[in-house]
Amino acid sequence: MSTLSASSSVCQHPAHLLVKPAGPDCNLRCQYCFYLEKHALFAEEKHCRMSDDVIEQYVRTYIASQPTKEIEFAWQGGEPTLMGLDFFKRVVALEKHYGEGRTISNSLQTNGTLLDDAWCEFLAREGFLVGVSMDGPAAIHNRYRTTADGRGTWDMVDRGVKLMRKHGVEHNVLACVTRESAYEGVEIYRFLRDYGFEFLQFIPIVERQPDDRSEALGLNLSSPPQISDDGEGPAVMPFTVEAQQYGQFLIDIFEEWVRRDVGKVFVNHFDSALGAFYGMNPSLCIYAKMCGSSLAIEHDGTVYACDHFVYPEYARGNIMRNDMAGLLTSNPQQAFGMSKWLDLPACCKACEVVQACHGGCLKHRFAHSAEGEPGLNYLCPGYKLFFTHVRPTMLKMCELLRAERPAAEIMQTFPRATTASRNRAKQQRKKKRRR
């Protein structure tokens, strides 16, 4: 271990950092990826790799800056496994050295394609929680998740997941929802559940054509909306999920889950909504009242407001020059987090499901309300549809929880689907897909 100087002050509240040790570098070329293009920000580097000095400074100052006994490290990309296994062995050694008795946990988000026996032995031994990206069955996954020469990657991911299972690595799945797959909710959900995933995260793909700001940076996708933006703005990319259909996608999955899987399968949106209708702050940042406590750190030590805001104007500073706690709690960062609530259009503040939605992610607020107010979330029609649909059932689940009964008892209130109704639903889904 080196003896890097500069002491670190302590944050009042815990803050999370998504670490990108290999920057935007990845061995795959998923066509909807929002992060590969960030290479333009580090154009002078052929390969983005976190140096020994930066990783040591990061581990040391991040631990020192946190007010809690439990410290979480979250590794992401690009593809973090490009760093190689020795890098992560060094990370764990640094965590033990600087941890001073604190409980440290690690999570790793990966495309799963570079995992082998040695990786999986290590991940299992060190208790990493691994999130693997799989969009559903092969035909759906391979639509956008491809190699540089356009080949589908499902078989490679399948191999990685099977290796993790062989070695007992704790893992969950992250599935992206596109314009096409939003019509295939039940098929995707059943597939991922039956494949053996218990924790499912669904992420909507929402990207726009480049605007002037992003083109000036050499980027291919639009930069985040600014509240002063007016007019229609750039059009969405063709793979972007349709707003209303995204809500229907979540409803289709909910209708299956609430009949047979409550308490057995966990879906990020349903957990968050249940907590919100119970009176808690939604667990997903996109649905929380405020955000700003989940930042991102790039391979060169620069800290950004959020994983979705890796743009020069949202850089908070660099851990090699600035105090870590100061970066995590700077005034601009606090203003960023509070803007999630303060800048909501009036229609959101008056919305009947605002407690569960809170206007969604800042990155997606490029629509206008019916009154012409800017800052409405592009996904609003879908959010309204979903939260309004699930609220009565969720409120019943809250009643069960308040009576100290398992929420899973809700399944008893639903009649089992008959073959006729299942066939009807199948026909409806087919019709929708043909549109």
Active site residues: 307
User: Residue 313 and residue 295: Cα distance in Å, rounded?
Assistant: 14
Q: Is the dihedral of CA 19, 22, 27, 28 positive or negative?
A: positive
Contact between residue 374 and residue 251 where contact means Cβ atoms under 8 Å apart: no
> For residues 28 and 94, which CB has a smaller minimum distance to ligand SF4 in the complex?
28
Nearest approach in angstroms of CB 143 to ligand SF4 is 13
Applying CB under 6 A, the residues found at the interface with ligand SF4 are 26, 28-30, 33, 35-36, 77-79, 111, 133, 285-286, 291, 294, 306, 308, 347-348, 351, 353-354, 357, 359-363, 377, 380, 383-384
> For residues 112 and 317, which CB has a smaller minimum distance to ligand SF4 in the complex?
112
> For residues 192 and 306, which CB has a smaller minimum distance to ligand SF4 in the complex?
306
Nearest approach in angstroms of CB 406 to ligand SF4 is 29
Instruction: Give the type of residue at 133.
Output: S
> For residues 146 and 259, which CB has a smaller minimum distance to ligand SF4 in the complex?
146
Nearest approach in angstroms of CB 254 to ligand SF4 is 16
Region label for 122, one of left (φ > 0), alpha (ψ between -120 and 50) or beta (otherwise): alpha
Contact between residue 118 and residue 81 where contact means Cβ atoms under 8 Å apart: no
Count how many residues are written for the chain.
435
> For residues 36 and 394, which CB has a smaller minimum distance to ligand SF4 in the complex?
36
Nearest approach in angstroms of CB 54 to ligand SF4 is 20
Nearest approach in angstroms of CB 393 to ligand SF4 is 17
CA-CA-CA-CA dihedral for 67, 306, 248, 271, to nearest 10: -10
> For residues 262 and 327, which CB has a smaller minimum distance to ligand SF4 in the complex?
327
As given in the structure block, the two tokens for residue 401 are 């929880």
Nearest approach in angstroms of CB 31 to ligand SF4 is 9
Per-residue buried b or exposed e for 161-189, using 16+ beta carbons within 10 Å of the residue's own CB? bebbeebebebbbbbbbbbebbbbbbbbb
Angle, helices 85-99/52-65, rounded to nearest 10 degrees? 40
Pairing of strands 294-297, 302-304: antiparallel
Distances (CA, A) of 25 to 36, 55, 206, 260, 350: 7, 17, 21, 40, 43
